[in-house]
Amino acid sequence: MSGHNKWANIKARKTVQDAKRSKMFTKLIRELTIAAREGGGDPESNPRLRTAIENAKAANMPKDKIEAAIKKGTGESSGEELFEIMYEAYAPGGVALLISVVTDNKNRTAQEIRHTLSKHGGTLAESGSVAWNFERKGLLTVPKEEVDDLEELLLLAIEAGAEDIDEETDPIEIITSPENLTSVRNALKEAGYTVNEQLTYLPKTTVKVSDEDAEKILKLLDALDEMDDVQDVYGNYDIDDEVMERLAANL
């Protein structure tokens, strides 16, 4: 490879990386702002903000940007008016989706969501037709390698308010109500476990999808994730891990 071509490729990769980094920062800043606006600026009493701060730090966002975003949310400084909207949709195979967006332009975002869904075989759903199948939950994970006594972990989590535990996964997943997320997190951390936490939407029922539909669904999820205004997408699809890994590698 000539030096010119090599440099051209490096610049092309860097442009993509910088674009993704910028897009990531935009999403993280908006989540910090909305989280602070909805639950206050104290992360200890606001698990959504706590998770947003941890995600921002993991992305190497500067401290001053994190603080500025939080101040916008609490009203200590001015900024663009942001709207948090939850779209309900159907993906190929009858899979239900909740699409969480934060936007400064409702009309633009609605058009983009419709276009992306239509392009990938999905459709917008009527209000309430999808949301009923999802529940707001706290999700904590603990690396399996840290757990010497599984029963001890289970008892600790349950006593702190956990609702359900999936010990078959790695990391181990612990489900709580949003209200008990902080108490379970604190109990696990005090016991010495490494804990990751988030507020999420979990489906009450799932849909097993074919390999063909799985590919369409993952392409749709990837396209939605590329949108600046989309924060998260929740679905009730059931795709085998091997199929998902194989398809995701080709996206």
pLDDT of residue 15 exceeding 60, the answer is: no
| CATH fold of 3-74 | Arc Repressor Mutant, subunit A (1.10.10)
Per-residue pLDDT tens over the stretch 119-146: 999 999 999 999 999 999 999 999 999 9
What does the pLDDT read at residue 247? 75
What does the pLDDT read at residue 8? 39
| CATH fold of 83-132+205-248 | Alpha-Beta Plaits (3.30.70)
- Distances from the Cα of 173 to the Cα of 8, 235, 246, angstroms: 44, 18, 23
What's the pLDDT band for 9 if we cut at 50, 70, 90? very low
To the nearest whole percent, how much of the chain has pLDDT over 70? Answer: 91
As annotated, the residues of the chain forming the CATH 1.10.10.200 domain(s) are 3-74
Per-residue pLDDT tens over the stretch 58-113: 889 999 999 999 999 998 887 778 999 999 999 999 999 999 999 999 999 999 99
CATH 3.40.190.170 is held by the domain 135-203: no
3-state helix, strand, coil in the chain (%, to 5): 50, 20, 25
> What backbone phi and psi angles, to 5 degrees, belong to 87?
-90, 145
Beta bridge partners of 137: 200
**pTM for this prediction:** 0.84
As annotated, the residues of the chain forming the CATH 3.30.70.980 domain(s) are 83-132+205-248, 135-203
